[in-house]
């Protein structure tokens, strides 16, 4: 039986498949890994897919296989990150309106249950990683300390989004190494740095949803630090991302189609900045989610640019 809307957790997404179709006993665990919120998977996946497409001297079947592997890996590693985050933050989440319904904060799942789910997701992630070459396996393992420590960043710095950028875009390096069997080259490093600037930007927009609650519970964010200076900061961050990706295009010898796509991506950035209202949480969420579409623009630009 489908839950009545009034019976759903405070953070449930209206009309999502978890609440409408998943067996009731599985719903807290699916919410724990944010299966009802796929935007995080996409944002983790895009740097991986972009990097894979930069290496264009492999057979099509090999490229497709890597795209599929990294899609699975992005889902499970995002799940791992969410579980670790919720374990660290369950007391804070219980004090923030938007997150009071999260399974650990609400008591729908015990820490032991969350750890069991973490072990399952981590095992799947390891199996995916072991499909890659030796250099990629080493590089993947090297990211784990950042995954574990990211949830602590907002307790010690106004810029936890920078730490998120380091973690969330590791796939820009990993995808290159998995495809080429070489350590990250200049194009992938430039891609990674540009993705970091992009992540700091979009996650600052996202953080404006929680700034009042964050201030009350004493955690930090770039949204609180920047306040009314958010739009100028986004202009700098997004310009830096575009400049680094343009350098990536030159270093990888991409053709004019890539740079045309980058111009279209610049228009999308301008739209985000111009239409942002930092005091409108629903607008912030909409602009944050729009980065899924942004990812398709860059993906198509790289794919056409290597043709």
* Alpha-carbon gap, residue 278 to 297, rounded angstroms: 25
pTM: 0.92
pLDDT for res 100: 87
Angle between helices 230-251 and 186-207 (to 10 degrees): 160
pLDDT for res 2: 36
pLDDT for res 12: 55
pLDDT for res 50: 98
pLDDT for res 16: 81
Tokens of 31: 């919410």
Domains by residue range for the chain, with CATH: 13-305 (1.10.357.140)
What are the 10-residue block averages of pLDDT along the chain, 307 residues in total?
41 72 93 94 98 89 96 97 92 82 93 97 97 97 90 91 96 97 97 98 96 86 96 98 98 97 98 98 97 98 93
């Amino acid at each position: 039986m489908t839950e009545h809307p009034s019976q759903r957790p405070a953070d449930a997404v209206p009309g999502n498949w978890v609440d409408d179709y998943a067996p009731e006993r599985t719903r807290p665990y699916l919410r724990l890994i944010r299966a009802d919120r796929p935007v995080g998977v996409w944002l983790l996946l895009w740097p991986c897919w972009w990097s894979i497409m930069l290496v264009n001297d492999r057979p099509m079947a090999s490229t497709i296989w890597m795209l599929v592997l990294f899609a699975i890996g992005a889902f499970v590693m995002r799940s791992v990150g969410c579980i670790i985050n919720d374990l660290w933050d369950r007391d804070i989440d219980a004090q923030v309106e938007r997150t009071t319904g999260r399974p650990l904060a609400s008591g729908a799942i015990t820490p032991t249950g969350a750890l069991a789910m973490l072990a399952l997701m981590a095992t799947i992630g390891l199996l995916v990683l072991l499909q890659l070459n030796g250099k990629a396996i080493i590089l993947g393992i090297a990211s784990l300390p950042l995954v574990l420590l990211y949830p602590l960043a907002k307790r010690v710095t106004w810029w936890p989004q920078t730490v998120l950028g380091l973690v969330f875009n590791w796939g820009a390096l990993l995808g290159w190494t998995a495809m080429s069997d070489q350590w990250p080259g200049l194009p992938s490093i430039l891609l990674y740095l540009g993705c970091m600037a992009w992540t700091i930007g979009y996650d600052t927009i996202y953080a404006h949803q929680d700034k009042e609650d964050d201030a009350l519970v004493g955690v930090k964010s770039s949204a609180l630090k920047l306040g009314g200076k958010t739009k100028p900061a986004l202009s700098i961050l997004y310009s830096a991302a575009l400049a680094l990706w343009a350098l990536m295009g030159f270093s990888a010898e991409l053709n004019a189609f890539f740079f045309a796509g980058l111009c279209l991506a610049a228009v999308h950035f301008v739209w985000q900045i111009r239409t942002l209202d930092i005091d409108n949480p629903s607008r912030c969420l909409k602009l944050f989610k729009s980065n899924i579409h942004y990812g398709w623009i860059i993906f198509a630009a790289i794919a056409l640019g290597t043709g």
